[in-house]
Structure 1
Amino acid sequence: MDNLTYTLRQLCDRNRDGSHATQGDRENSLKLMARQLKEAGFRQLKATSLNGKHVDALLGRWRNDGLSAGTLKNRLAHLRWWAEKVGKEGLISSSNDQLGIPKRVFVTNENKATEVQDKLDRISDAHVRISAELQRDFGLRREEATKFQPRYADRGDHLRIKGSWTKGGRERVIPITTPEQRATLDKAHKLVGEGSLIPAEKTYIEQRHVYDRQCKMAGLKHMHGLRHAYAQARYEALTGWKAPAAGGPSTQSLTPSQRLADFEARQTISRELGHERVEITKVYLGR
């Protein structure tokens, strides 16, 4: 256990604010922040080392990861708690608006899945290209698709995503149901064998920079639209009709039996994307 994680754990042990659930969520969130700061290149930190550059690094990481407004607010609450407990209350603005965090998730039925798919062939780096295809075909986040190890994850009829790759450290399972998914996995196996989609000579941070640079050169502002593509394809496979964001019927226009199928599909997709709330699927699928 590194020093920052250890001292944050001590901080949580000394300050038992809130319910047991709140305490558990806070400690998990702070452990994640410690790991992300380490991945960002910060070393030899302890809880009292927190300063503005660490806050900026975390906020930048979270924005790039395409987190929902609700998740951003939760993490900021835990970050403010940390700052308060080490005597740095004024380090983080109390206004989420000033930090560029929206008041709510903006949901429309506009399709964002088509914004990036036609640009994938502009990505020249083989590792980044397959990472992007995994995002499209399995709904993976950037970190998950970069750290992906096909030999470990491919279980024949499903993927097992390691907790160490995921947001919040939660493992999850994603079914393999299409020839396109199998073709992408076969390419990943061929490219890296027993390794990961981080080349042997690079660290995760170095490969993430390559990923970001390749996406920028391809004219892609971000790759979150690939998760939209997965969610919408999965929704159509589970329900038999297109999602509202892909031109399908709105939830309000569905029959009672269709609404049940819609809800069950959204539950499934939420789990496969690594979310805990069905509500978040409105961002991917429309409503």
Structure 2
Amino acid sequence: MWQQKVNDIMKLAGTRRVNGKVASERTQTLTKDVLYASIRRLHELGYKIQDPKNLGERHIEVLVKHWWYCQRKKAKTVQNDLSRLRVFCAMLGKPGMVGAVQKYLPDVDPELLKVRSAARTTKSWSGHGIDLVETFRKVDERDPCLGLMLRLELGFGLRREEVLKCNPHVQDYGHYLQVFPGMGKGGRWRNIPIVSNAQRDLLDYVKARVSKNKALGWEYSRSGQIASLEQNIRRYENLMTSFGFTKADAGITGHGLRAQFAENHALLLGMIPATMGGGAGQLDGADSGVVKAKVAQALGHNRQSVTSAYIGSFESSSALFPDSDQGIVTIQKALRILDAVALPEVPAARLEDCRFIQEMMAHTGLVLTADQAHMLFAKHARRHGVEWMSPGLETPLALRISAEAMLNDFLFC
């Protein structure tokens, strides 16, 4: 069978990357998945390949055209799948056989085939109108384990596999959560700093509900057997789909919580991401670079440029907040809406925080009441998955973002 032949080739040559480094299990699995799907597709199209060594340029061309014209795959997906085939063909001793995507789609506008790594719009759940506090509660009612995992994905930007393997008791080092070697992408470890009390609250909430000697993933499969990582991944994906946390249903994916973590982390460090309307002029180049470096490190990446996939690029953004007014006009518009609304009384435990917000905003020339401060900052806290969090230096930025979201809600309600 051709499947066994693919497996044999992968075992022989698929454990190393092109640069000589060991390929992760995830990389090997993804490559194999693309190969299986490609050969099955060729069979459906009439090309009954039984030996993968017989893959030729004609087959690659047929696949690429089918992906683009029939399956309507995005340029990035086509590029990724083609890259997997390119690597596999090199294993077969056919380096250079698989060309660039433009070679197979000469009639397509080259601009349409360009892969833009920078996010142009937010991928966050809050940015798609999802109230995380309420969503977590609903998930808890049906599957508490998934609810805990989603909280740590938001609070610490954990990937799916990282959160399934996470033992919050062991990985909590007080000022940071550590992703141990072998848990993250490519086996890399990282320390994720705890820079807000919202992160601490989420982490403590999770720790209070899990055993000290167990990971967050489901211990047993639905059949009662000890669950493997692969079974947990499938269960995670099935649950996410059943809740409607998909691109098709809600415009989001689980990875969107990681993107929201990146946005939140940038805000806490004093920068409004491009995906949230921030402009290039809010920080000088050096300070902006520092923030991006810290966001990248928290996400587990070494290159600053990777952050553009999560928080966008200022070069391609359209700033919502003019640097000249520091977003004050936006906040004032939101306050006029709040003036016409009977706001709830501020809980006594939050009054001191609200006074802090009032004093901080007074330095920008903005006057607001305690209940207005409470309403706007509570909206910011819910972005972080909690009902309230202590205000810090990010407060002016937080109020801008909340005000903009409130104006959008008002316009489209």
2:19 partner SS: helix
Task: Please point out which of 274, 281, 287 is paired with 2:307.
Answer: 281
What is aligned with 1:34? 28
What is aligned with 1:122? 138
CA distance in 2, matches of 1:54, 1:128: 33
- Tell me which amino acid in the other structure corresponds to 1:236: L
What is aligned with 1:215? 240
CA distance in 1, matches of 2:95, 2:19: 19
- Tell me which amino acid in the other structure corresponds to 1:229: Q
What is aligned with 2:36? 52
Over the matched positions of the two proteins, sequence identity in percent amounts to 22
1:151 aligns with 2:169: yes
What is aligned with 2:260? 229
Task: Return closer, same or farther for 1:205/1:187 CA change in 2, 3 Å cut-off.
Answer: farther
1:246 aligns with 2:272: no
What is aligned with 1:103? 115
CA distance in 2, matches of 1:187, 1:223: 20
- Tell me which amino acid in the other structure corresponds to 1:216: T
Task: Return closer, same or farther for 1:210/1:55 CA change in 2, 3 Å cut-off.
Answer: farther
- CA displacement 1:93-120 (0-9 Å, x = unmatched): 963898x986222532546341355434
**2:176/2:194 contact within 8 Å kept:** yes
**2:149/2:216 contact within 8 Å kept:** yes
1:186 aligns with 2:204: yes
**1:232/1:243 contact within 8 Å kept:** yes
1:174 partner SS: strand
CA distance in 1, matches of 2:97, 2:235: 31
CA distance in 2, matches of 1:36, 1:89: 20
Per the normalisation by structure 2, the TM-score is: 0.50
Structure 2 residues without counterparts, runs of 5 or longer:
1-7, 41-74, 106-111, 221-226, 247-252, 315-413
**1:150/1:194 contact within 8 Å kept:** no
- CA displacement 1:172-217 (0-9 Å, x = unmatched): 1101222222222223323232110122222212222221122122
1:260 aligns with 2:276: no
Structure 1 residues without counterparts, runs of 5 or longer:
13-20, 41-49, 57-67
**2:119/2:275 contact within 8 Å kept:** no
**2:82/2:101 contact within 8 Å kept:** no
**1:8/1:30 contact within 8 Å kept:** no
Task: Return closer, same or farther for 1:108/1:187 CA change in 2, 3 Å cut-off.
Answer: same
1:164 partner SS: coil
Per the normalisation by structure 1, the TM-score is: 0.70
Task: Return closer, same or farther for 1:113/1:152 CA change in 2, 3 Å cut-off.
Answer: same
Task: Return closer, same or farther for 1:164/1:91 CA change in 2, 3 Å cut-off.
Answer: farther
1:200 aligns with 2:219: yes
- Tell me which amino acid in the other structure corresponds to 1:206: Q
Task: Return closer, same or farther for 1:55/1:269 CA change in 2, 3 Å cut-off.
Answer: farther
Superposed CA RMSD: 3.9
CA distance in 2, matches of 1:91, 1:22: 15
2:291 partner SS: helix
Structure (1 or 2) with the larger CA radius of gyration: 2
**1:29/1:78 contact within 8 Å kept:** no
**2:266/2:272 contact within 8 Å kept:** yes
- Tell me the matched-pair count: 247
1:163 partner SS: coil
Q: Which has the higher contact order (CA 8 A, sep 6+)?
A: 1
